[in-house]
Amino acid sequence: MSDVLFAVSKLLNFLWTPDSLLVLVLGIGTAALWFWPRVGRWLVTAGVAVFAIGSFLPVGIWLLAPLEDRFPRPGPDELGRVDGIIVLGGAVQPEITHTRAALALNRHAERIVEMAMLARRFPQVPIVYAGGSGDVRGERPTEAAAISPYLAALGISPERVRLENASRNTFENAVETWNRSRPAPDERWLLVTSAFHMPRAIGVFRAAGWDPVAFPVDYLGSGRERWPMLAPAGHWADLRLAAHEYVGLLAYRAAGYSNALLPGPRKESP
């Protein structure tokens, strides 16, 4: 992906979030009240209604559920042979980690927790941590660089870990990881990322030339969410995440970065 396309994708990602669109609708509606009162009333009413729905109902979790359920998590007896482990970045806050000299994780911290547990379970296999920087200017520290000093404290020998710090998004995760690992056709690598992100991640890895075993972590929904649930900040964060992921699936397929619109598990041969 060129630098221009990367910058454009970041801008569109900011503008097309549900909360940004809601603010835009409310802003236009408020302005319209001065010139076209009827149009303004409709827009403001619609904006308030959408805000109420998004604040009381776990719409984001409901939208994320089909993505989280797409790839079943392998049980302890289902993994079989493992030749390598790939962990996608997205859990570390590099700037805070660098500034505070303390490992700072976000809501997707289970990617790191699972990496440590898998490292203990499969002590001989290599690990690739794919985590560059999504900063358009390229001035912020990378995730791979941020987590590097803490690998030993997590119980992972640093010599086992290949730090991939050149990628800026999921597509580049797959390309850079492939270039650094070059797995043999019969090797079985685990791909560790958030369950909602797994379909898009598997799609780009397959397009890049390999088919890792999906090992989803970081589930955001239990499947038993009820309503009404007044939690505006959490609901809107989930809705923003769902919108980002669905738009990403569409964009990656349209750009040819993924091998399917909604990748799923491979069907076993009879």
What value, to the nearest 5°, has the Cα angle with vertex 214 and ends 79 and 74? 40
Q: What is the pLDDT of residue 268?
A: 47
The share of the chain scoring above pLDDT 70, in percent, equals 87
- How many helices (H) and strands (E) the chain has is answered by 10, 5
Q: What is the pLDDT of residue 85?
A: 96
**Mean per-residue pLDDT over the chain, rounded:** 87
Cβ atoms 174, 205 nearer than 8 A: yes
| Rounded distance between C-alpha atoms, residue 143 and residue 103, angstroms | 11
Confidence of residue 87 (pLDDT cuts 50, 70, 90): very high
* DSSP assigned state of 92: B
Q: What is the pLDDT of residue 96?
A: 95
Fold topology of 74-219: Rossmann fold (3.40.50)
Determine the angle formed by the axes of helices 37-56 and 18-35, rounding to 10 degrees.
150
Q: What is the pLDDT of residue 264?
A: 93
What value, to the nearest 5°, has the Cα angle with vertex 263 and ends 258 and 269? 120
What would the pLDDT profile of 10-29 be if each residue is shown by its tens digit?
Answer: 555 656 688 788 888 889 99
Determine the angle formed by the axes of helices 18-35 and 232-255, rounding to 10 degrees.
100
pTM (2 decimals)? Answer: 0.86
Hey, what are 219's tokens? 């589930």
What would the pLDDT profile of 156-199 be if each residue is shown by its tens digit?
Answer: 999 999 999 888 899 999 999 988 888 888 899 999 999 999 99
Cβ-based burial of 6 (10 A; exposed 0-12, middle 13-18, buried ≥19): middle
For residue 176, what are the contacts with CB-CB under 8 A and spacing of at least 6? 130, 132, 164, 166, 167
What's the whole-number mean pLDDT along residues 65-90? 92
What would the pLDDT profile of 191-244 be if each residue is shown by its tens digit?
Answer: 999 999 999 999 999 998 889 999 999 999 887 766 655 565 678 889 999 999
Cβ atoms 115, 131 nearer than 8 A: no
